[in-house]
Amino acid sequence: MTDTQYKALSIREFSKAAKVYETDEAGIYRMCRKDYPDVLAELEKEDFTDLLDCGCGTAPMLSLLQKKYPDKHYTGIDLTPGMIEAAKAKNMPGVELVVGDCEKLPFADNSFDVVICCQSFHHYPNVQDFFDSVFRVLRPGGRLILRDMTAKTAPVRWFFNHIEMPLINLAGHGDVHVYGTEEVRELCRKAGLVLESGEKRGFFRLHCAARKPPER
């Protein structure tokens, strides 16, 4: 499929999901809630003011953060207008919400202390563009916290990427690729980010943290 086709599938999928995303009828999307504690734990280590959530959906993560750290400034971006509409309906103070493409982040250079991305970047057909864009918008010393689905071994990831995902796409999902730690390390390296940690955790989760080098 083309990049445009992948993104159209994602918009169609998540336009439907936006209506139930944070309800008990969210189905498979309820699994995303398992990412929140690990991201919150990472953020407790960071002194940040401005945070960007890439692929924020209906902003469940930003809702938690806004309650825990109400003095911070948050921005969420998502490709699906319906997701952003649902997020805006929460009327969260200090939270800016934008419809946009995470491969081409529409923000100024050096705008954020932290970028988080949970269960989103496996939908990106030009994933290096995402990492390049994250590097650009992070301030020197800023951090990327990344959560996504994965598999522990390369053969299982090959099965996901070459057998399961094409079938899922036929069912109307816009999944592109699942990654392992070394693939993420190389994507970070090409963008100029330094991967500080990368590991497989429970529930088929890839947990990574990378940093933009500080200025010298």
Phi/psi of residue 55, nearest 5 degrees: 70, 50
Confidence label for 12 from pLDDT (cuts 50, 70 and 90) = confident
Whole-number percent of the chain with pLDDT over 70: 86
Element (H, E) at 208: strand 205-211
Provide the residue ranges of all domains of the chain, joining segments of one domain with +.
Answer: 3-211
Element (H, E) at 78: strand 73-78
pLDDT (tens digit per residue) in 76-116: 999 999 999 999 999 999 999 999 999 999 999 999 999 99
Q: What is the 3-state secondary structure (H, E, C) of 95-161?
A: EEEEECCCCCCCCCCCCEEEEEEECCHHHCCCHHHHHHHHHHHEEEEEEEEEEEECCCCHHHHHHHH
- In the beta sheet, which residues pair with residue 53? 76, 116
What CATH number should be reported for the domain whose range is 3-211?
Answer: 3.40.50.150
Tell which wins on pLDDT, 175 or 137.
137
pLDDT (tens digit per residue) in 171-191: 667 688 888 899 999 999 999
Cβ(130)–Cβ(55) below 8 Å: no
